Amino acid sequence: MTTYLDHAATTPMTPAAREAMVEQLAITGNASSLHGPGRDARRVVEESRERIAAALGARPSEIVFTSGGTESDNLAITGSLRAARTADPRRSRVVVSGVEHHAVLDVVDHAVEHEGAQATFVPPGECGTVHPDAVRTAIEEDASTVGLVSVMWANNEVGTVQDVASMAQIAHEHGLAFHTDAVQAAGHLPVDFAASGVDLMSVSAHKLGGPIGIGALVAKRDARLVALSHGGGQERGIRSGTLDTPAIRAFAVALTEAVEHREAEAARLGALRDRFLAGTQALDLGIRVTGCWEAGDITTRLPGNAHITIPGCEGDSMLYLLDAADVAVSTGSACQAGIPQPSHVVLAMGRSEEEARGSLRVSFGWTSTQDDVDAVLAALPEAVTRARRASGAA
């Protein structure tokens, strides 16, 4: 049986969410229809919207359903930039951190290449922390040209949690909208949309025990967005398309459950993470923890995130060797045109390309146990030895 330790990529649906989705799949009804079955579906959607809003500290009217985090990021960034430039053609610049998920970075790159936008990337410190003062400096290069500021709530690779509330406040001091990708944070950290002050927030169900293919952009009612899809005018006219009632219901169940048990689960996952990271140091293999790590810290680093670099090893080799040992983890690199690329996050944190290529992310979730930690620690020594031999480092 595979030891699954890639929950940051996707985590299994919880039994409650799965049961809710299966039950709803057996019921016919388009939430935009006016007949009885349609009204029944609409009731499920709106009740789910209320539950999701309550769990995220938002108003129901601020929840815009999407297909997930990537679409939410696209809508937030492209939609905001187009709206800003329509109001003032000078506002073509986006201020964004250098450690964003590619769902943000690639959207920004597209806007630069195809829509005449400009991008200012804010580098992180060695822990992966984006400092609010650095965001202020980037904005004040010329605040009159900025259309949007975007910094993620928690990093998907190294787990660093950002002070988005302070950054949102700085953006607002200059009359600017602030977006945060909270895909890794929702359900795992105390996420409160209203209290944070952000204007736009992306979330995704499959990172917290819900189904793949459903998420939301949480958008203030006065957020200026140009729609990217057109049709039936659903979701405030921002995101047209027939609503996926079964997935929305399962999303609400999973998020509500995650928030209800968040504190206890964060402590449990943090203990598993700490046991794993301490175990890697005891192996005496030269393994280095990426980012800042202090045992028991579940506020500045995601509770379930462990990221390591292994000298003399290619991350891809380690991934396949561990997979052969029935341990599923993730590499910190991306693959473009079949060629492994070093992690842009690790590079931005000041690590060498060799270290970035030798990165592994081990992420824990609701199914994880101490036996899983023991399994990956037991498999690491042989995998490291073989990977180093293959790379000529041993």
Same topology for domains 15-259 and 261-391, yes or no?
no
**Has residue 334 got a pLDDT over 80?**
no
Q: Does domain 261-391 have CATH number 3.40.50.1820?
A: no
**Has residue 361 got a pLDDT over 80?**
yes
Render 121-175 in DSSP notation, one character per residue: EEPP-TTSPPPHHHHHHHHTT-GGGEEEEE--SB-TTT-BBP-HHHHHHHHHHTT
* Single pTM value for the model: 0.96
Tokens at 236, concatenated:
């405030």
Query: Catalytic residue among 127, 292, 313, 335, which?
Result: 335
Domain ranges of the chain: 15-259, 261-391
**Has residue 189 got a pLDDT over 70?**
yes
Domain 15-259 classification at class level: alpha beta
The pLDDT value recorded for residue 341 is: 79
Tokens at 368, concatenated:
């994880």
Tokens at 26, concatenated:
């057996």
Which of 240, 248, 249, 229 has its CA nearest to residue 32? Answer: 240
Active site residue 335: yes
pLDDT category of residue 355 using cuts at 50, 70 and 90 = confident
The pLDDT value recorded for residue 85 is: 96
Tokens at 307, concatenated:
């990221």
**Has residue 206 got a pLDDT over 90?**
yes
State pLDDT tens for residues 262-292.
999 999 999 999 999 999 999 999 999 999 9
The pLDDT value recorded for residue 227 is: 96
Which of 62, 74, 138, 139 has its CA nearest to residue 101? Answer: 74
State the Cα–Cα distance between residues 375 and 367, nearest whole angstrom.
Answer: 14
pLDDT category of residue 335 using cuts at 50, 70 and 90 = very low
**Has residue 333 got a pLDDT over 60?**
no
State pLDDT tens for residues 100-150.
999 999 999 999 999 999 999 999 998 999 999 999 999 999 999 999 999
**Has residue 343 got a pLDDT over 50?**
yes
The pLDDT value recorded for residue 181 is: 98
State the Cα–Cα distance between residues 126 and 152, nearest whole angstrom.
Answer: 17
Least confident of 9-18, 311-320, 370-379: 311-320
